[in-house]
Amino acid sequence: MTQSHAIAHPSGDERYTAVDRTMKRFRYEKDALLEVLNTAQETFGYLSQDLLIYIAEQLKLPLIRVYGVATFYHMFTFEPLGEHNAIVCTGTACHVKGADAIIERICTEMSIETGQTTEDGLFSLTTARCLGSCGLAPVTVLDGKVRGKETPDGMLRHVREIIARTKDVLPQPERAP
């Protein structure tokens, strides 16, 4: 009598089970790559080199193809992101309407560059070539919420608000009497 169960990943990381489940659901078809990458990103929070290699091996795809697909889509990241994430569209319409000013203001105020996370791990800023909402330019996405016709001041205000809310719910260090 045989039992059917997922074999634990050699690293012992149980999160690989979710990735394995997705690959199994799509019968390890090469065309399922995008779906598998989505699951991996949702499960791990980012796509590490080891994870990309694992996916390539399991789907019997060249690593360069897996990497090529992962780098094509803005939703995939290759380093852990902060607790809160902002994406600024840099497509033509957004660029013309001031996306660069939004990016510059956030980078200056948060002391980070595009693609980086603040030292406290609370905030990450990334860009996307196009978010497909040109009529709302400039477009940003903050923690999954699309914001159209954004301004540098408005975006900074929203970022400060979400970080302040996060700090309010974090345990505060005890102060000596």
What's the pLDDT tens digit per position in 46-62? 999 999 999 999 999 99
Whether residue 127 contacts residue 114, with contact meaning beta carbons closer than 8 Å, is answered with: yes
**Start-to-end C-alpha separation, the chain:** 66
Q: Which residues contact 71 (CB under 8 A, 6 or more apart)?
A: none
Q: What is the mean pLDDT of residues 80-86?
A: 91
Q: What is the mean pLDDT of residues 126-153?
A: 93
Least confident of 19-23, 67-71, 171-175: 171-175
Question: What mean pLDDT, rounded, does the chain reach?
Answer: 89
Residue % of the chain over a pLDDT of 70: 89
* 151 confidence band (pLDDT: 50, 70, 90): very high
Q: Output the pLDDT for position 4.
A: 37
Query: Residue 3: pLDDT above 70?
Result: no
Query: Residue 10: pLDDT above 50?
Result: yes
Q: Output the pLDDT for position 132.
A: 87
Report which of residues 79 and 70 the model is more confident about: 70
Whether residue 156 contacts residue 106, with contact meaning beta carbons closer than 8 Å, is answered with: yes
Query: Residue 173: pLDDT above 80?
Result: no
Q: Output the pLDDT for position 177.
A: 53
CB atoms within 10 A of CB 15: 16
Domains, the chain, in order of start with CATH, read 2-72 (no CATH), 84-168 (3.40.30.10)
Question: What's the burial of 168, exposed, middle or buried (CB within 10 Å: 0-12/13-18/19+)?
Answer: exposed
For residues 139 and 37, what is the distance between their CA atoms, to the nearest angstrom? 25
pTM over 0.85: no
What's the pLDDT tens digit per position in 91-126? 999 999 999 999 999 999 999 999 899 999 999 999
Whether residue 151 contacts residue 100, with contact meaning beta carbons closer than 8 Å, is answered with: no
Half-sphere exposure of 45 (CA within 13 A, CB side): 8
